[in-house]
Structure 1
Amino acid sequence: MKAAVYYQNGGPEVLKYEDVPDPECHPKGVVIRVEAVSIEGGDTLNRWHGALANKPHVVGYQAGGEIVQVGSEVTDLKVGQKVTTVFGAGSHAALRAVPARNAWPVPKGFNIKLAAAIPVPFGTADDCLFEFGHLKSGETVLVQAGASGVGVAAIQLAKRAGATVLATASSNERLERLKPLGLDHGINYKTDDVAKSVMKLTHNRGVDLVVDPVGGATLQGSLLSLAYRGRVSMVGAAGREAMTIDVSSLMAGNRSLTGVFLGAEIGTDRAHNMIQRLIDEAARGELKVVIDRTFPLSEAAAAHAYIESRQAVGRVLLIP
């Protein structure tokens, strides 16, 4: 099969388009013919400095497609069924093998390209807001990196839950594109101090919850944006900066900082059912999956470079 692979960590240029052996089907797994790869933030981080399980290494968490092979012990999935999948690696390929537990059925008629972009960003956003963020109706939320996959999902989910939604992005144009999703107030972090802007918008109260997929220096701004008893759900290191922060403001205001990693619980019934619910809601038109651009799988390097240019709003897909 064809795949986007690399032999060493580095920038997008390390990705090459090559032939690699087809994956084998585990008795408790399935093999899908990939129709759409949703490039996740973790994919670019793994390419940059993650471990290489094999050489050549096929990176990638998330992809959707059609089941072409089912393991002997799998009873709830069948050949020909459309699913979206999540696994530690292997999405950037024409075929991928995953445990059956890591495949979610896609409702008939729902675009597989949209379904492919749901589990990780929407599941992560849901956990940041509700499971760990304890969001309640009437509260105010700040979504850092609002134009990211997690950001786009968090804005919608928070607004639907009755929150006032603030978000940051790198340009006014990107912020404008977020308004139809439920954004109430946008902050251009290139031109404005985020914490000061938050305090101005909230009449010096601060926000009840921050969803922060960036980390680094951005995380400090998240902490300084909190109201009394405010919470931060920290979910990533997209900024690729050291996590050197002053947490003294937490104690003074009875505030909290929680790390969130969907992968730690993705195999639980709770997380599995939550992701299926989000897929079904998107299929009914209750949530919007935003696809910024698509690239051929053969142009994976260009797709990764585009993501790292911070121009995208929503997800970037690879099509085998």
Structure 2
Amino acid sequence: MRDLYGMQKCDKEEHMGTKDVSAREFIADNRRFADVINFYLYAGRRVIVPWDLAEQDTAEALTIFGIRDKDVGIQKWRDVLKRVIIKTAKGCIYAIVGIENQTQVHYAMTVKTMLYDAINYGNQVNEAAKLHREQGNFSDGAEFLSGIKAGDKLTPVVTVTLYWGDDAWDAPRSLHEMLNTQDRVILRHVPNYRLNLIAPIEIEDFSLFETSVGEVLEMIKAAKDNEAMNRLIRTNKAYEGLENEAVRVISLFTGITVEVNEKEGKTNMCKAWEEQELKGIEKGRKEGIEKGRIESIARVLQTGTEEDAVRFLEATQEELEKARELMKG
């Protein structure tokens, strides 16, 4: 069962499709996670490193004060969430970063991620309030009612949506785009939450990625153009020894059938692509021969009998049936 924004109200794992699971597992790897965030935040510069990432609970839970003196609980499940230390010249930045994988366009994604982030901030406030109450260190009534002290700071939360489709993302990318008015006065007073989106079709320079994420997304971008895909596989050396996890994801999202090299842990996609092309050519040749044979049998049936087709062409019962179907058409 889903709520208004398409998020699970029960165990998310039970409702995720094969693509969703594969995308999440692929991106959960710290190397690839850091690569995606570096691409989006720092134009590919290696600012965030894998060993400065720590797993966060993907269940975002928040209890808020509701009507009639009853608390209201909200719980949502993220795809991948990590705590990160970003080292800069001015010191260290502590942040919480999430990646939401979308295998299809989600027209409420802006609100969905906004809600994720808001729940996280609300939970930070609740955790701080709990700690302060346990320690009894509120300075005045205002701090007690607020739950946090005047000098408390929250950890920034960044959510990036990674779209795994080979077409354009045509959903809204900001809250203002979703509103039923474009009145300047109103919009000036409504915070415009923006969607942080990565879509393969919009990426111009895949070399900004350091891991196989780049090869996967570039292949997805070329998925609908056989010529572009052929050129990509033959010219990019990375596909000559691509890690099997990436090959499986490519196969799943592009429909390319590739037999992975389990022994070596890497697969030569160039070789696999050539073998697939040869199989296609051979299949076409066989189909052409079969088609010609059926046409010959049909011509015999037009002027003779089935016995003639069996005696002179050694036609099988299956071939006779196909020939009769051809004659009907």
| Fold match by TM threshold 0.5 | no
Asked which structure has the greater RCO (Cα within 8 Å, sep 6+), the reply is: 1
Query: Given the two structures, how large is their TM-score scaled by the length of structure 1?
Result: 0.25
Q: Which structure has more strand as a fraction of its residues?
A: 1
Query: Given the two structures, how large is their TM-score scaled by the length of structure 2?
Result: 0.24
* Structure number with bigger Rg: 2
